[in-house]
A and B are shown apart, each in its own frame.
Chain A
């Protein structure tokens, strides 16, 4: 029974490989198993420990140049799943000639055995977070600490046979204090995240939030925390770097290669940097990951390409064929976006924004956003702000970047320091 918590495949692909070899022109099998363990925190107690294991198989076939796709978690439905993919290919206008032969980049520190056996660590981690928050006199209202291991394998008719393992640990806590609330999160590839720091941040901002006052409307210099930087860029900017969006008229960056699009900021997609959360030897269709400079000192240099769209534009893939979930088609998505700006130790006067509410409502086609900053703090007056509204356009905002901090933190896809922007319109 021990094996049921282990990071091992149970589904035998052999019959599917034979079936697809015989019945399709080209084929691909994406096989993934994930073991996830989590403790949930509710109002200062650990509510439960969950262990889950899910294994899934995604099939892509090409018949007469047309692509079909299907997915299953049911070991008894493997051949039916292959047949469905073939059936769908008949009506598909998704075109491909073949799949990548694939390759591996060298990436270190993305798998740590300890994470897969983390039950006891999770319980202790939960207690640490709770006690740190309680010491501040704040309610640790809701939280989750999760440790997961994933093994993925790609087989295809072009000869790719790739396998990799990775681990991921994440923690989240939302603290409530009087009428105020705030959250923070932290992640790592290993069981080494700084839980106290996360818990202290969330507690401090919850206290700020409870005392928060109003802000006068006007232009302010603002500082975005790494969390706020990610929330904004992920929703309002990153879709514009996808070559598919560029080709389909959905990117304001189309036709602007080698033009100055932002101020002094560089954005680099790097899928093979050691230890980062989206790093992997190969992307979700087998192309080796790489480093792609998107913006260099404000100049637009490149776009991201998965296998299909790299062929459409006669270029090499950039290792950005990513499946949002294991049951999804690979599409062009960022891996780790490294944000580089001039680094400074500290800043003086600014409105510091810890997190945004509603970032997903940003207009990803135009880059326009109107976001609630909650919580925020006017640093020169040490004045917490209950709520402020930030309006603008991400392309205008990135022209106003002044500098950033020295320490970089990764929040999901974004590896960034805090960033300071000059003269941004804020409303109360």
Chain B
């Protein structure tokens, strides 16, 4: 018996870049693509290209070999359209440019030598059908602004912030981008005189932005079941205790953040997944294939364009705890407070992860002290959550997550948290 599915993708995007006050590299893109998969003899044959369905399926079938692949064939159907409160098409291009120029005024200071503000709107129209009778489609817009500035005073330092979410022009039309720019300006001034960080294992207070990337890198990737299926994950089973009673971690594609999707790229209805409940690892993220093999629930396959769907996170977060910020500081005693992220990387096979903060502060006797720069954090998936202390005030930060050469939009969230990790820097 064979199975096939077809994905139809249309995207359009518009982007603007204000570089040092000049509107450079404005761009419009209109993409159409199709992907055909045939599962036969336990093997996938795949063809991606803009051809008729019949031809595409024939070309895909030619690539079938032999194997032992089986899949969950659960059938969903439906159409979803994400409503933009302010439709991006109703705002003139000139007005979008004006907004960027207004935001840029917040980046003026004698020590700032370079600025870049980017605007992007992106609409993804997706349709999926398969031989089991599934038929789903959706239209989801994403809009946002990214701000970066470079300061110079002997050394060059840079800071950046992003505001991206699922939705329309309403995401960028409020005060938020102005506040982000003002914060970059004031923090850059301090950063020019920041100290090199201490190194060694120590308590680390992470702001929500860093805490979000932390849970994504330190734990989230190991939860993607394809790693397990390959024998390349430190997380071998659910039900193990990885953190304290108060630790709850979720992956929720239905939350209206940057990683939002209503159906995954295998046509499965999106669901909120409980990754950690009361400190116990509960659930892997699954594709149709890993769900079948490991008795899980599919719905976490995502693709960049029409490339191969891979198991990916969406909006991943540590839920709020009970600690006040001052109590977290006090619990650190002597350590560091780290803010923002420059991205990170993890190896789910070994459990070692590594990522960088944008800047930080020394914490001495429970008090925030001098600023530190170029600071990184590393640790091990199975150790790091054991003594986590969780604060109040959940916030999300958007980003693009890379896996096997594909980038997908995600959002990572956390309240302020404290862990013991290895800190280092230049």
Contact = CB atoms under 8 A, between A and B. Distances in A.
B19 A48 contact: no
B347 A91 contact: no
Contacts of A279: none
A249 interface: yes
A372 B158 CA distance: 22
A61 B306 CA distance: 29
B349 A370 contact: no
Given A93-B22, A365-B150, A389-B422, 4 more contacts: A45-B67, A329-B25, A370-B425, A372-B378
Nearest to A40: B308
B374 A363 contact: yes
Interface in B139-155: 150, 152, 155
A91 B93 contact: yes
A91 B94 CA distance: 7
B424 A75 contact: no
Interface in A166-184: 174, 176, 179-181
Contact of A54 (B49, B155, B376): B49
A157 to B, nearest CB: 20
A316 interface: no
Given A48-B65, A389-B378, A71 B27 contact: yes
Contacts of B91: none
Contacts of B346: 357
Contact of B25 (A94, A181, A209): A94
Contact of A74 (B30, B55, B64, B307): B30
Contact of A4 (B43, B49, B226): B49
A372 B150 contact: no
Contacts of A91: 23, 26, 93-94, 97
Interface stretch (A101-109, A137-145, A268-276, A402-410): A137-145
B109 interface: no
Nearest to A70: B28
A47 interface: yes
Contacts, number: 232
A181 B230 CA distance: 12
Nearest to A74: B32
Contacts of B87: none
Interface residues of B, number: 76
Interface in A231-257: 248-250, 252
Interface of A: 1, 4-5, 40, 42-43, 45-55, 68-75, 77, 80-81, 84-85, 87-88, 90-94, 119, 123, 139, 141-142, 144, 174, 176, 179-181, 209, 248-250, 252, 327, 329, 357-358, 360-361, 363, 365-366, 368-372, 374, 387, 389, 391-393, 427
Nearest to B46: A50
B331 interface: no
Contacts of B307: 52
B157 interface: yes
B426 interface: yes
A318 B111 CA distance: 32
Given A91-B93, A374-B352, A52 B48 contact: yes
Given A94-B26, A179-B350, A374-B352, A141 B231 contact: yes
B59 to A, nearest CB: 6
The 9 closest A-B pairs by CB, nearest first: A249-B113, A52-B48, A181-B349, A48-B44, A141-B232, A74-B32, A361-B356, A370-B376, A70-B28
Given A80-B30, A365-B156, A393-B426, A52 B349 contact: no
Interface stretch (B251-259, B264-272, B337-345): B337-345
Contacts of A179: 234, 350-351
A405 B357 CA distance: 35
Interface string B37-69: 000000111111111000100110001110111
A332 B129 CA distance: 42
B126 to A, nearest CB: 15
A369 B353 CA distance: 16
Interface string B319-361: 0000000000000000000000011111101111011100000
Contacts of B345: 357-358, 360-361
A427 B59 contact: no
- Output the residue of B22, B24, B229 with the most chain A CB within 10 A: B24
Given A47-B67, A54-B48, A94-B24, A248 B114 contact: yes
Contacts of B352: 357, 372, 374, 387
A260 to B, nearest CB: 19
5 contacts: A45-B67, A77-B30, A93-B23, A181-B349, A389-B199
